[in-house]
Chain A
Amino acid sequence: MNIVPEFDPLHFSEAALKMRSYRQQILASNLANVDTPGYKSRDIMFSQALREQVEGVAYSNALPLSATDGRHYRIGGGLPGAPALLYRMPMQPALDGNTADVETERVHFADNAVRTEAAMTLLNSVISSRKLALSGNNS
């Protein structure tokens, strides 16, 4: 009988936290650049990124486009091994080519911050239940 679950909750929470803080970083960049001409708002597809992180398989980088010359286009734009960076569809692009919409970015930032806290709470409860199991007393 397999006692250890397929996905270790500790491992899962860690991956979720990792991806949340990664996304926080990208959203912070978008917010810092709301006044930069020509800046294009970026984001990751969270569910896909988390699945890749948990399963340890990089689906989006499974067949990477090889760039052997400096002039070759690079698809995705993320770092190797990191989730692919996508461009956000602009709601109301500015005349200077900026697609970072303050409201949209703020909402995503706040949402991501709350979900990061949720991931931490989950991780905390996993840790405390393990501690309880280790100590053996239920006082």
Chain B
Amino acid sequence: MSLMRSFQVASTGLSSQSLRLNAIASNLANAEAVSGPDGQPYKPRHVVFRPAPIIGEVAAGVEVAAVVEDPRPGPLVYKPGHPSADANGYIRMPNVNPVEVMVDMISASRSYQMNVEMLNTSKQLMLKLLDLGRV
């Protein structure tokens, strides 16, 4: 049933986008996390999408191929009184740009909404299909 596949595709989109939103929330929450469990500043995480083929169908959903850490070092900030400051009084901040993260969040939330609408449209068509022939 093709319309059921649309449901499946939309659901893969929803779960992938919500994982992306999770990563974004983590990045935003840790924007000031200068030392994690390993003593290093927090590294922002980004999700990588790839098409997820459905066996025996032309339609492809989407899945998260990997969650990668951004290796770029963050800015050095002069904070002499900070416990993790080095000999010169500098601390290495996480490489999280709040503006970039917020833009990414808006993009993810719009994509999520789009998948919800897709699901709704397919549902309406499905319900209409159920009423077929019932005059």
User: Which residues of A does B touch, CB under 8 Å?
Assistant: 18, 21-22, 24-26, 28-29, 31-37, 39, 42, 77-79, 82, 85, 102, 106, 109-110, 113, 116-117, 120, 123-124, 127-128, 131
Contact = CB atoms under 8 A, between A and B. Distances in A.
Given A25-B5, A35-B17, A120-B128, 7 more contacts: A28-B10, A29-B9, A29-B59, A31-B114, A32-B62, A37-B49, A117-B125
A63 B17 CA distance: 41
- Binding site of B, secondary structure by majority: helix, strand, loop or mixed? helix
B62 to A, nearest CB: 5
Nearest to B134: A124
B58 A117 contact: no
B132 A24 contact: no
Given A35-B107, A120-B132, A127-B133, A28 B114 contact: no
Contacts, number: 104
A18 B2 contact: yes
B111 interface: yes
Contact of B51 (A39, A113, A131): A39
A31 B56 CA distance: 20
Contacts of A117: 125, 128
A106 B3 CA distance: 17
A24 B2 contact: yes
A109 B115 CA distance: 12
B121 interface: yes
B61 interface: yes
